[in-house]
A and B are shown apart, each in its own frame.
Chain A
Amino acid sequence: MLIHLSDIRKTYVLGTVALEVLKGIDLDIEKGDFIAIMGASGSGKSTLLNIIGCLDRHTSGMYHFEDIDIAKRSDDELAEIRNKRVGFVFQTFNLLPRFPALKNVELPMIYSSIPSNERRDKALEMLKKVGMSHRIEHKPSELSGGEQQRVAIARALVMQPQIILADEPTGNLDSSSGKEIMNIFKELNSEGVTIILVTHEAAIAKDAKRIITIKDGVCDSGCN
């Protein structure tokens, strides 16, 4: 079992109003799975993804990531988990505009004390894997949306994480670029990488092995 969620709740306090976004999610994810989380906007699917990626903390419930009890871990330990075991892919790519593609891919390794020549080699390897080895010195502004997302995937892969979390990865792309990105994900999954992606497009979700639907903070279908 890679991920085990049980009765996960998340409450945001905005001023005096408490907003319960997740109302008790039970979910198990096996190694090598390819999951699409679907749901309307505001349903809590992104929040669930952020919790799985240790970017956010759940308010109550139990979350085990590879037998690590996340609730008991410090912020620094969560940073360590994000660094070594999780790769994020965002809708808006989130590349650093001042740096070329290569430097962007090297970024996670900087926080892992990997020497600079090794960083470069690994980053090059990952850029090659996503078909971007001809663009390594280009800055994000000089790349198309699809190309930027490939660089972002290379960045997510570079630490060889157990799991890739993608939040609407095709949301800002035209359909052909989106298709290419999905092909990369499928290929990665066939190599054994666990993938969870959040989407509201059924056409994207059908590429996944398993579809989970979230509605108003509870699991509507696909959970355990």
Chain B
Amino acid sequence: MDVIEVLRVSRDSIMSNRIRAFLTTLGVIIGVTAVILLVSIGEGARRYIQTEFSGLGSNILIVVPGKTSKEGGTHMGTSAVRKLVYDDALLIKKRSRHIQHSVPVVAGTSLIKHGSKSRSTYIIGVTEDYFEARSLTIDSGRFINTSDVDSGRNVAVIGRTVKKEILGEANPLGALITIGSTKYRVIGLMAPKGVTLGFDIDDIIFIPTTSAQVLFDTDSLFNITVKVRSEEEITAAKNEIKETLIKKHAGEEDFTVFSQDEMLATMEKILKIMTAVLAGIAAISLIVGGIGIMNIMLVSVKERTREIGLRKAVGAKNRDILFQFITEAVALSLVGGLIGILCGMAFTWVIPLFIPSLPTSLSAWAIFLAFFFSMSIGVFFGVYPAKKAAGMDPITALRYE
């Protein structure tokens, strides 16, 4: 059997029914396009989150009050959670040699005013180490320092958005802004950081933790942000934090320590599952496309009954006929697959241009998967019609009208 001849016959038979062939492959085209596009969007989201997280500093552990149970969900009714206090943060740092910084963080929103302008903004109370831990950079002025924290000075480091909205084009350094009912002196301006995970980091004011506790009239912390010396020490640091705090909290583990990497891993896992689910749904349309191919192959076998009879009469073996029709089915599904891959790539490229908030990332494995999936669909759905053709009795086939 001559493979080139088989391919030539397949081409001729597909080309002699162009519109029919195109409509048949449409199902596969749509399926492959959808698979590639959805995987690209999922992959894009994953990459986006990865880069955003890495911009938040590395080797970070966050201690929050309350125990998040891994099995039973949240504790219903047990609201008597012990607060995290300033001393907890100091103690953690003192007890562990793996920890570089331990920052007690207080956070909340408050109204800020300057002259006639006012704005409600996110206020974060931090200590001098926070900036290094979070790899933040300053544009002009200085960070909050140890003495600011120790004496609870009313000083503020403001973000870009805050400056623009409240102070306009004026030099922010030394300006007095009112936070709540207290006047704060601006001592620094943050470098622009933009939007991370939907949160405008430039719309933030940093003040000393001690001042923030006064501002919000609380002695409890929002969290303790811990910077571990190196990646290898994260587990050890985590255990030491737990040990220290359990001892201090009268033997109760009423807090949770999680690492940023864990959060990232969890989010990535969720995204991966979502991508797989979406791609799976898209793959259903591939199967529908395959049924379309099977349908048209059955029609083709019927139409070419006499041809099959004649080929057998002049010496074609069953496997020659089988091979011919499977080749045609695979050719149809492959053409559909290739067009689908091109469409998927085009959409992946075009979509971010029109919807900037939807990052996409073309992944090679999605393309290969789509390619092989469409090919196997051709084989799978081509076998039945081809077997039907190969099993024909030559005499009956020759007499077929």
Contacts and interface: CB of A to CB of B under 8 A. Distances in A.
Contact of B398 (A75, A76, A94): A94
Contact of A75 (B306, B309, B311, B317): B317
Interface residues of B, number: 24
Interface-central residue, A82, A110, A112, by most chain B CB under 10 Å: A110
B24 to A, nearest CB: 18
Contact of B316 (A50, A53, A79, A94): A79
A114 to B, nearest CB: 8
A142 interface: no
Contacts of B12: 98-99
A62 interface: no
A111 B318 contact: no
B398 A107 contact: no
Contacts of A108: 314-315
Given A96-B310, A98-B16, A116-B4, A55 B395 contact: yes
A120 to B, nearest CB: 12
Contacts of A56: 395
B2 interface: yes
Interface string A17-44: 0000000000000000000000000000
B395 A88 contact: no
B369 interface: no
A88 to B, nearest CB: 5
Nearest to B401: A92
A88 B315 contact: no
A108 B319 CA distance: 15
A159 B316 CA distance: 13
B310 A94 contact: yes
B contact face: mostly helix, strand, loop, or mixed: helix
B315 A84 contact: yes
Interface string B1-41: 11011000000110010000000000000000000000000
Interface in B264-313: 306-307, 309-313
B2 A50 contact: no
A144 to B, nearest CB: 20
A83 B58 CA distance: 75
A36 B395 CA distance: 21
B310 A82 contact: no
Nearest to B313: A88
A185 interface: no
Interface in A64-117: 75-76, 79-80, 82-84, 88, 90, 94, 96, 98-99, 107-108, 110-113, 116
A122 interface: no
A111 B314 contact: yes
Interface of B: 1-2, 4-5, 12-13, 16, 306-307, 309-320, 394-395, 398
Given A82-B314, A111-B1, A159-B315, 12 more contacts: A55-B395, A76-B317, A79-B317, A79-B318, A88-B313, A94-B309, A96-B310, A98-B16, A107-B314, A110-B2, A111-B311, A111-B317
Interface of A: 50, 53, 55-56, 75-76, 79-80, 82-84, 88, 90, 94, 96, 98-99, 107-108, 110-113, 116, 155, 159
19 contacts: A50-B395, A53-B313, A55-B394, A75-B318, A76-B319, A79-B312, A80-B315, A82-B314, A83-B314, A83-B315, A88-B313, A88-B314, A94-B306, A94-B313, A98-B13, A108-B314, A110-B1, A111-B1, A159-B315
